[in-house]
A and B are shown apart, each in its own frame.
Chain A
């Protein structure tokens, strides 16, 4: 049967089992929206800005592991989506973005709402397509989902001109797709895996360094089993939190610029470091020169060969799907009968405990001003550590990463790579829609929340009862911190002079809110927000926090792992 391009688009999404499409209509996608109106296979969530559509699809993808879908119109619709696409690209999030385009004869004519979407997004997508022939439409959408979700995941954009959504052709959704130029490796090299296992068994000061790849590939179970089997300490990156339970005694917390003293010291002084789904980026190991000052052997497991030996030379590279590689390693260790040197391991763990006793995350618990760290500790307590926590970008993000101890994967959702302010609220919408009964907290700052505050309207329209935990210090806190440390306390443009009354603002959008000025009120406010009474209500908590609190430890830019500024 012949279908229009718009019908085909909608049918393809249904065939892919899409549950939610986050989007915003406009001229070039009106045909597609007309078909969405007529169907009931998936739900459409109308955001208030296209950036939020992409972040919401992103949050949905991170919380579920499924491919997020966003739909935007041509021109400004597409350009507004770019920040969201780049965010997903930097964090390797599976996503398909469908954008409308002006009709094919108008392409290149500077038509109304025309922009070279494929050109603009090319550097921040895994792949993109401009569909010029309706006969290619179904197979292109199939390819887009295939590419987005396999190998190292990432966003794929499909740009569809308006006339293509009007033309008709026979519809058949391809069952399978194969691309001669795209065959992601899955199975790790057996010889390399054997070498790695031998290296681990010979280690005296081993460290496991696990990144976002563990979360993305659903390898938390295998990672936890491996670490416990060997009795090796484990640190997680910002993107990897929850990949190994924070409450496990072998966990040393997060590493990197704002990582714990024990994690950074242990990585720097390890003799065998196994990096799993991580990429040694600048915020993690700081300066490579300093990193090389200590000798160690490095095993690197990653699905993306280009991540290996990019910033740091690696001794044993293993390209493969992380859970499969870890499963094979576990099997080899179990059958080998060998065990790591227990005396050496004990000495090493004792050393780590000594570093841990430095208590690098301590803060003033007697203060009569609300300390942001205290709010997050209480948030963890009140939610039993079982909430999905999204964040924006800045100090609050680092405190959330440090103080909300994640025991499960896919619970911590933040823009790690691109560092996109404005991510938290729309991402939380995607998370809450994916898990309607779960507790979802958006930890944010007064700078970040205002970058996508309009989404409070979306939350109202679609009954999304997330909880906003605003750590309001009236400063762009992380900028202020850098200015204090490195710019002679010249606080250029980092003070927010006029802030709205967030409680009234939340109420204006139809939600509930409360302002909290006193540490004694913190727990009560959180209990109220997560109470049964407020289960179906978005609650906006405006915590007035200490204006001068800093995030510690901190590795200044360009410095090494053991060169932390400590409190």
Chain B
């Protein structure tokens, strides 16, 4: 989409005005400073997804819309989790982070902050695996997606 003021609110407004749900939405400028790329995760029947695609295409600021789930694609999300790291938990948290290929990026006497990337379901699985009482704070970026192989999105 055009990297214009208001473009994000046009997309967000479209979803709320037409009653579509947004599970996550990420957006940032690309290597071409005049363009931004947005990844939206949404759910709906084939008809609803078709309408969402058409309605997005109608927005003047939108350059191109693809449904990544139409083909092979890669999806990644970044999560930062602050966990308790006292007593017996200190070793346990380190081990869990290693198993899920997380990285501990900040340490205090009482806490670890773990950085983890992956598909959304992997991050979900990590949170599931932790003792609920151990999780102090979570922040997630929402998914960014890209086609697998030679498939690219160009205007």
How long is the Cα–Cα vector from A462 to B85 in the complex, in angstroms?
80
Chain B nearest CB from A288 CB (Å) reads 11
Inter-subunit contact B58/A122 (CB<8 Å): no
Interface of chain A, main secondary structure: mixed
Inter-subunit contact A180/B63 (CB<8 Å): yes
How long is the Cα–Cα vector from A179 to B59 in the complex, in angstroms?
12
Inter-subunit contact A181/B6 (CB<8 Å): no
7 contacts between A and B (CB under 8 A): A122-B13, A123-B17, A127-B60, A180-B155, A181-B63, A306-B58, A309-B50
How long is the Cα–Cα vector from A361 to B140 in the complex, in angstroms?
62
Interface of chain B, main secondary structure: helix
How long is the Cα–Cα vector from A123 to B47 in the complex, in angstroms?
22
How long is the Cα–Cα vector from A127 to B10 in the complex, in angstroms?
9
Chain B residue contacts of A304, Cβ below 8 A: 58
A178-218 CB mask vs B (1 if < 8 Å, else 0) is 01111000000000000000000000000000000000000
Q: Using a CB–CB distance below 8 Å, which chain B residues touch chain A?
A: 1-2, 5-6, 9-10, 13, 17, 47, 50-51, 54-55, 57-58, 60-63, 155
How long is the Cα–Cα vector from A112 to B58 in the complex, in angstroms?
35
Q: Does A147 contact B (CB under 8 A)?
A: yes
Q: Does A126 contact B (CB under 8 A)?
A: yes
Inter-subunit contact A130/B62 (CB<8 Å): no
Q: How large is the interface on A (under 10, 10 to 19, 20 to 34, 35 or more residues)?
A: 10 to 19
Inter-subunit contact A181/B9 (CB<8 Å): no
How long is the Cα–Cα vector from A130 to B60 in the complex, in angstroms?
14
With known contacts A181-B60, A309-B47, A310-B51, A122–B10 Cβ distance under 8 A: yes
Chain A residue contacts of B62, Cβ below 8 A: 181
| Listed residue (A118, A147, A181, A309) with the most chain B CB atoms within 10 angstroms of its CB | A181
Q: Does A119 contact B (CB under 8 A)?
A: yes
Inter-subunit contact A122/B9 (CB<8 Å): yes
Q: Does A305 contact B (CB under 8 A)?
A: yes
Inter-subunit contact B60/A147 (CB<8 Å): yes
Q: Please, which residue of chain B has its CB at the minimum distance from the CB of A151?
A: B58
How long is the Cα–Cα vector from A181 to B7 in the complex, in angstroms?
12
Chain A nearest CB from B15 CB (Å) reads 11
Tell me which residues from 118 to 136 in chain A have a Cβ below 8 Å from any Cβ of chain B.
118-119, 122-123, 126-127, 130
How long is the Cα–Cα vector from A304 to B61 in the complex, in angstroms?
17
Inter-subunit contact A181/B50 (CB<8 Å): no
Inter-subunit contact A306/B54 (CB<8 Å): yes
Contact residue among A122, A123, A310 (Cβ-Cβ distance under 8 Å from B6) = A122
Inter-subunit contact B6/A130 (CB<8 Å): yes
Contact residue among B5, B17, B51 (Cβ-Cβ distance under 8 Å from A130) = B5
Chain B nearest CB from A164 CB (Å) reads 15
Given contacts A181-B61, A181-B62, A182-B60, 4 further A-B contacts (CB under 8 A): A122-B9, A122-B13, A181-B60, A306-B54
Chain B residue contacts of A119, Cβ below 8 A: 9
Contact residue among A123, A147, A182 (Cβ-Cβ distance under 8 Å from B13) = A123
How long is the Cα–Cα vector from A305 to B58 in the complex, in angstroms?
9
Chain B nearest CB from A95 CB (Å) reads 15
Contact residue among A122, A123, A181 (Cβ-Cβ distance under 8 Å from B2) = A181
Chain A nearest CB from B30 CB (Å) reads 14
Chain B nearest CB from A84 CB (Å) reads 19
Inter-subunit contact B155/A118 (CB<8 Å): no
Inter-subunit contact A179/B6 (CB<8 Å): no
Tell me which residues from 491 to 523 in chain A have a Cβ below 8 Å from any Cβ of chain B.
none
With known contacts A122-B10, A130-B5, A181-B1, A305–B54 Cβ distance under 8 A: yes
How long is the Cα–Cα vector from A119 to B17 in the complex, in angstroms?
13
How long is the Cα–Cα vector from A179 to B51 in the complex, in angstroms?
23
How long is the Cα–Cα vector from A306 to B17 in the complex, in angstroms?
15
Inter-subunit contact B13/A306 (CB<8 Å): no
How long is the Cα–Cα vector from A181 to B50 in the complex, in angstroms?
19
Q: Please, which residue of chain B has its CB at the minimum distance from the CB of A184?
A: B58
Inter-subunit contact B47/A306 (CB<8 Å): no
Chain B residue contacts of A310, Cβ below 8 A: 51
Chain A residue contacts of B47, Cβ below 8 A: 309
Inter-subunit contact B57/A179 (CB<8 Å): no
Q: Please, which residue of chain B has its CB at the minimum distance from the CB of A313?
A: B47
Chain B nearest CB from A347 CB (Å) reads 35
Chain B nearest CB from A291 CB (Å) reads 15
Q: Please, which residue of chain B has its CB at the minimum distance from the CB of A123?
A: B17
Chain B residue contacts of A147, Cβ below 8 A: 60
Chain B nearest CB from A145 CB (Å) reads 14
The 4 closest A-B pairs by CB, nearest first: A306-B54, A127-B60, A181-B63, A123-B17
Chain B nearest CB from A115 CB (Å) reads 15
Inter-subunit contact A118/B54 (CB<8 Å): no
Q: Please, which residue of chain B has its CB at the minimum distance from the CB of A179?
A: B60
How long is the Cα–Cα vector from A123 to B57 in the complex, in angstroms?
15
Chain A nearest CB from B78 CB (Å) reads 28
Tell me which residues from 96 to 152 in chain A have a Cβ below 8 Å from any Cβ of chain B.
118-119, 122-123, 126-127, 130, 147
Inter-subunit contact A305/B51 (CB<8 Å): no
